Structure 1
Amino acid sequence: MINKKITWKELKALDDIYHLKKTKAAIQGHPYINYLINDKGILDLKRDNIKVIISTEGFEEFYEKEFKLQYDEAKSFLENNGIEANAKKNFTLEEVKTLMLIEENKEELKSKPTNIEDFSNEFFDISKYLKNKTGLRNAVFKILDITQFPLDKKENQWRIVVDRQNPDAVVLCENKSFLKQTWIAKSTNVKLWYVGGNNIKILDDIDEIELAKPFYYCCDWDLAGLEIYERIKKKLKLRNKDIVLLYPNEPHKKISTYIEYHDSHWNLNKILSGLQIGNFNKKELQLIQDLIKNEQWIEEESFDLIQILKVVLLIKQ
C-alpha cells in the first residue's frame, strides 16, 4: 500500500531507481524506504558506497504497480501548471492528487471565493493545513490564479467533479478519494461527482440532460454513508430518477467501526440500524446485516472502483 507520508523527495528518488537502477538521494532515513530495503528486500545499499541505493529483483514490478502511473501523472500535472517538480518539494503524492482535483474544478472554485480555513478544511480536512504549508498554499494560489483567499464569504456549495464530455454514467462519491484518481474517469468513461456529507444540496440543480445518464453511488458502507445514500435516493426520486448503490468488491475488506479515525457506529437498538429496508436489495441487506452484527464497516477507498464500474456498466448495456 502506498505510504501517503512519502514526499516528492522520496518519490523522485524511487523514480530515479526505476529508470537508472540507483539513486544518491539521502532517503534512507524514511521509514518506508527502510521497509523497502530491510523488509521487502527490493532495494539495497551499494556495497562499496552505502550512500547509494540500488534496485534488486522485484523492484521494477513493484514500482510499476504501486507508483509509476501516479507519479508520472503527478509530475506532468505539476510541470504543466508551472510548479517545479524537484526533490526540494515536500509535497506528498496525496497532496498533489488534491491539487489535481482543485485544478479540475478551478472555474467552479473561483466563482465562489471563500476563506483559507474553509477551503483548507474542504480539500485537506484540516482548517489550518494550508496556513502551515507555504509551498502547498502557493501551489493552490498558482492553480487558482489568486494571491490570497477573500475572507468575507464562508459558506459554499461547490460542485466538485471530474468531467467527461459524453460519459456513460455519473458516479456520485461520498468521499473525494476517487476524484483525485483522474484515470478512473478516463478508463471507465464516467463522470465522478463529490456528493457526500452535507454537500447533497447541489443535486437540486442537476439538469435534465445529465439525469438521462445512469446514476451510481459509491460510499463507505457504514451508517453515515448509507444514510447519505438514502437522502440522495429520496432527493432524486423527486426528479423521477433512481440511483444504484455500488456493491463492494469481494472479498469484502471489513474493519471494526471502533478504529481510531472512524466515528460512525451502527445503532444496535433499531432494526437495520434505522435504515429503510425498501432502499436495499436482498444482497445488500445481507451484507448490511452482517456488518451491523459484527460492528464492522467497509471503507469506500478499499473499493476497486474500475472493476466495479466495468461490471455494472456492462450489465447496463
Structure 2
Amino acid sequence: MKSLKKLHSKDFTWPVLKALNDLYEKKKTTAKIQQVDYIRYLMAQTELIAQKKGNSNILVAGDGYKEYYEANFQSAYQYYYNFLNQAGIRPDGGKNFTEEDIRTLMVIYESRNELRGNLTNIEDFSGKVFDYAGSKYLKFRNSVRNAVLKILEIDEFPQTSKDLQYRLVVDYPTPKAIILCENKSFLKQPWNAKELEVKLWHVGGNNIAILDNIDEMELVYPMYYSCDWDFHGLEIFQRIKSKLKNRGTEIQILTPPSPHQYLPSDSFMQNSRWNYKVPFSGLDKEVFSSKEREIITKLIKEDLWIEEETNVLKDMFYYNFK
C-alpha cells in the first residue's frame, strides 16, 4: 500500500468501520451505531443508509452505498482488518478501538521486541506510547490494554518502572537510509518504510539518550531527521546531530519542499516559542545549511512554525535524499 489517509473523525471507531463493512458486504447491519453523529448525518441527509421497514433496529444499505463505501472506507477497513489478524487480535465489533488506537497498535507491533525488553509500568507506557490519551488510558480501556498485552506476549505490566529509553521502530531489511522522527505520526503509517525502503525510528524529546547505545552497524546508513520546524524540534535536532557526530556519523534534517504549510506559533496545543532575546532564537547557525537558515529566519521573523505531520514523508525524503 502506498498511502492510507486517516479518516479524521472520532466517529470512526472499529465497531463503526465493521458495521459499515457489514452494510457493504451483507447489505445490512444490526450494530448499534444509529446514535453516531456521522451515521445520523448519512441517514438524515442522504439515502445511502436507512432503517429497515418494520424493524428500526436494523440498518440497510441504499442506492449508491456500494460506490460510497469503496471510495471512502474500503481501503482503511481492509488495512486495519489485515493488521489485527496479523497481530493475533480478533477483529470483531466488540473491540472498541479508535482509529488512532489501531495506528498506535501498529507501532507497538513493529517495535514489540524492543518494547518487551524495556517494559515500564502501565501508566508510564500509556503516557509515552498513547500520548494522545494520557497515562491512565490503558487502565480504563480494556480492549486496547488487552491488545497491547497480546502483541507484547505478556500477561501484565510490571509494577515498578525504569527510565524509558527504547526505540519505537518500523524496520526494513535492506534500508537505503534511517529516518529519525520527532513525533510518532509517520511510524503509524508503516507502509512508508516499505515504499521508501527505509527504517523509521521515533527519537524525540527526552528520548534521544538511546542514540548513545545504537549498534555501530546501524550507523553506516544515511540518516535523516524529521521534526516540527519550531524551536523545540530544531533544538532537539542540534542535540541529535551533536550526539551522532561524537560517534562519527552525520545526520541531515529533512527540509519540507515548497509550498510550506505555515502555522502561527500560538496555534492550538503548540507550546514551543521562539526566543527573541537572542539572535537566531539561540540556535546554532552552523548546524544548518543556507536554505535551512532561510526558512528558520522566516519562521522566527513572522512567528510561525511548520508541523511535522503536515508534511508528506515521501515528498520530503525524495526532496532531500542524495
Same-fold call, TM cutoff 0.5: yes
Q: Which residue number in structure 2 is paired with residue 186 of structure 1?
A: 194
Q: Give a deviation string over 1:147-199, Cα, whole Å, max 9, x none.
A: 21111233220122111111000000001111121100011100001110011
Q: Which residue number in structure 2 is paired with residue 2 of structure 1?
A: 7
Comparing 157-166 and 145-154, the one that deviates more: 145-154
Q: What is the letter of the counterpart of residue 81 of structure 2?
A: K
Q: CA deviation at 1:301?
A: 1.1
Q: CA deviation at 1:17?
A: 4.9
Q: What is the letter of the counterpart of residue 91 of structure 2?
A: A
Q: Which residue number in structure 2 is paired with residue 110 of structure 1?
A: 116
SS in 2 for 1:131: helix
Q: Give a deviation string over 1:94-151, Cα, whole Å, max 9, x none.
A: 1011112112111211212210011111111111010111111111111112221111
Q: Give a deviation string over 1:40-66, Cα, whole Å, max 9, x none.
A: x6x733497584354459735642xxx
CA contact (8 A) 1:25 1:52 kept: no
Q: CA deviation at 1:227?
A: 0.5
CA contact (8 A) 1:215 1:242 kept: yes
SS in 2 for 1:192: strand
Q: Does 1:44 align with 2:44?
A: no
CA contact (8 A) 1:172 1:193 kept: yes
Q: CA deviation at 1:37?
A: 6.7
Comparing 162-171 and 272-281, the one that deviates more: 272-281
Q: What is the letter of the counterpart of residue 90 of structure 1?
A: N
CA contact (8 A) 2:14 2:99 kept: yes
Distance 1:209 1:124 in 2: 30
Correspondence for 1:59 among 41, 47, 68: 68
Q: TM-score with structure 2 length normalisation? A: 0.86
The change in CA–CA distance for 1:218 and 1:287 in structure 2 (over 3 A counts) is same
Q: 1:92-103 residue pairs with structure 2 within 5 A?
A: 92-103=98-109
Q: Which residue number in structure 1 is paired with residue 225 of structure 2?
A: 217
Q: What is the letter of the counterpart of residue 44 of structure 1?
A: L
Distance 2:223 2:109 in 1: 24
Q: Does 1:140 align with 2:148?
A: yes
Q: Which residue number in structure 1 is paired with residue 258 of structure 2?
A: 250
CA contact (8 A) 2:264 2:303 kept: yes
Structure 1 residue runs of 5 or longer lacking an equivalent are none
Q: Which residue number in structure 1 is paired with residue 280 of structure 2?
A: 272
Structure 2 residue runs of 5 or longer lacking an equivalent are 1-5
Q: CA deviation at 1:3?
A: 2.1
CA contact (8 A) 1:24 1:53 kept: no
Distance 2:66 2:120 in 1: 50
Distance 1:13 1:306 in 2: 33
Q: 1:80-91 residue pairs with structure 2 within 5 A?
A: 80-91=86-97
Q: TM-score with structure 1 length normalisation? A: 0.88
Q: Which residue number in structure 1 is paired with residue 3 of structure 2?
A: none
CA contact (8 A) 1:4 1:94 kept: no
CA contact (8 A) 2:262 2:304 kept: yes
Distance 2:176 2:190 in 1: 16
Q: Give a deviation string over 1:279-312, Cα, whole Å, max 9, x none.
A: 1122222222222222221111111102222343
SS in 1 for 2:137: coil
Q: Which residue number in structure 2 is paired with residue 11 of structure 1?
A: 17
Distance 1:190 1:17 in 2: 38
CA contact (8 A) 2:24 2:61 kept: no
The change in CA–CA distance for 1:225 and 1:36 in structure 2 (over 3 A counts) is farther
Please provide the CA RMSD for this pair: 2.5
Distance 2:270 2:42 in 1: 29
Q: CA deviation at 1:24?
A: 5.7
Q: What is the letter of the counterpart of residue 104 of structure 2?
A: T
CA contact (8 A) 1:18 1:60 kept: yes
Q: What is the letter of the counterpart of residue 148 of structure 1?
A: E
Q: CA deviation at 1:16?
A: 4.0
* Count of residue pairs brought into register by the alignment: 309
The change in CA–CA distance for 1:209 and 1:25 in structure 2 (over 3 A counts) is same
CA contact (8 A) 2:225 2:251 kept: yes
SS in 2 for 1:91: coil
The change in CA–CA distance for 1:47 and 1:121 in structure 2 (over 3 A counts) is closer
Q: CA deviation at 1:26?
A: 4.3
